[in-house]
Structure formats: C-alpha cells, structure tokens
Amino acid sequence: MGLAKGFGVVIRETGKKKRVTTLYPTVKRPKPVRFHGRHVLNRYEDGMEKCIGCELCAGVCPAKCIYVRGADNPVDAPVSPGERFGFVYEINYLRCIHCDLCVEACPTEAITESKLFEFSFTNRNDAIYTKKELVVDDNGRAQRMPWEHWAGGEDDNTSAWMRATSSSGQAAYEDRVNWSGELGFGVRSAESGQTADSMADAPGLNEGDAHGGHH
C-alpha cells in the first residue's frame, strides 16, 4: 500500500514543476562570471607572449604548484617584448587550488583563468601542464586537451573578477580598462560588479575616472 502511495505522489508531481536538472555533460550550466578554472598563458595582439619569466606567480602560489624559469630573449627571434621570457612554465593541477593569486601577482597579465574545470586524467603526468599546453593558440583560445570537456565559451571571459577591480582590487576602479590587448580578443571591456562607497578607495582619481572615465 505504501509503495502505491509513493508512486502516486510521483505521478501527480510529474510535469508540475520546472525541471532543474540538465543533460550533463551534453548540456552545461553557465558558469559564474568570476569562476576560477584552468589557466591560460596569454599573448599580445601581435602574437608576442606576455609572460616575462619573472616567477612572481610561482612565488605567490600557496599550493606551490607553479614552476617557472625565465631566459633572455633571443635577439634575432624574441618571444616576448621584454628582455626575458618564460622559457619553462608548468602548473601541477594535482595541487592547484584555483585561488587566482597568480593572476593578481602577474605584472603583464600573462596568466588568467578560464571557466573550464572538467579534467579527466588517466595519467598523472597529464595533470602537469607545460608551456606547450598553457599558451593560447593563434586565435587567442586555450589549447584543447583530449582529457578536457569543452562545451564552448569557457575561455570567453577569463579572470573576470580581476578585470572588475583593476587596479589593485580597488572597487573605485570599476569600469576602468586597465588591461592590455590580447590576441583574438583585443582590449576587453572592463568588468562590473563592484561599488565604490567613497573616493577614499581610489587615491589620485577624480569622480569621472572612478565611474568609467577611460583614457
């Protein structure tokens, strides 16, 4: 009798409420704008790499999952616009906690995080991404690895929360573009989502600058 009542409840409720599940992995729910996923190493609009091998990202990483070794740029074929470039760059995703501190520390906006989080490693060595996997392709898009599940759009808006509060995470810089252009995307629009309660949050800025004045 109890079983029949249970099925009766199921039948009565079927179709009454909007379905909240999705057909994952065929359909993926949109990620929050400030979601932290797997990293990419960006390039300038002319194709030059942004990474200068300064190792600040590795130094600030609390999980010690980043290894960087810089080298002097070849005079006849420079990799980056500066004197040095990231000769070796590795991230161990068995240790990474996606805190985005590396993005904060980077002085050239070389490293940002996409929205991709689905990894399905069958080999532990695959979890250690080298520069070959991390540097964006000629369209400015993240390299697609066979063990990653990309549904589209995961790298459209990388590290949005950092873009929202440049410079130095101060809310008064909302809507102010402080990032250089990127290959495939150009100069991205400033993100929103912060509110400055007072001009004391942004020393040196006038009111017009603090509310979207671009120079």
What's the pLDDT tens digit per position in 41-61? 999 999 999 999 999 999 999
DSSP-assigned beta bridge partners for residue 111: 41
pLDDT at 24 over 60: yes
Q: What is the mean pLDDT of the chain?
A: 81
**pTM of the predicted protein model:** 0.76
Higher pLDDT, 182 or 177: 182
Place of tokens 């099925």: 7
Angle of CA points 161, 165, 166, to nearest 5°: 110
Q: Please choose, from the candidates 68, 120, 64, the residue with its C-alpha nearest in 3D space to the C-alpha of residue 90.
A: 68
Q: How confident is the model at residue 17 (pLDDT cuts 50, 70, 90)?
A: low
Distances 117 to 12, 139, 148 between C-alpha atoms, Å: 38, 21, 8
Q: Please choose, from the candidates 154, 183, 169, 171, the residue with its C-alpha nearest in 3D space to the C-alpha of residue 49.
A: 183
- Cα-Cα-Cα-Cα dihedral of 93, 87, 80, 95, to 10°? 10
- Assess contact for 145 and 133: CB atoms under 8 A: yes
161 alpha-carbon distance from chain centroid: 9
Q: Which tokens sit at 161?
A: 């929360």
pLDDT at 5 over 90: no
Q: Which tokens sit at 173?
A: 């810089």
Kindly report, residue by residue over 113-144, the tens digit of the pLDDT: 999 988 888 889 999 999 999 999 999 999 99
Domain 32-195 = CATH 1.10.10.10: no
Q: What are phi and psi of 90, to 5 degrees?
A: -135, 140
Q: Please choose, from the candidates 212, 199, 122, 203, the residue with its C-alpha nearest in 3D space to the C-alpha of residue 168.
A: 203
- Assess contact for 163 and 188: CB atoms under 8 A: yes
CA distance 71 to 78: 11
**Domain boundaries in the chain?**
32-195
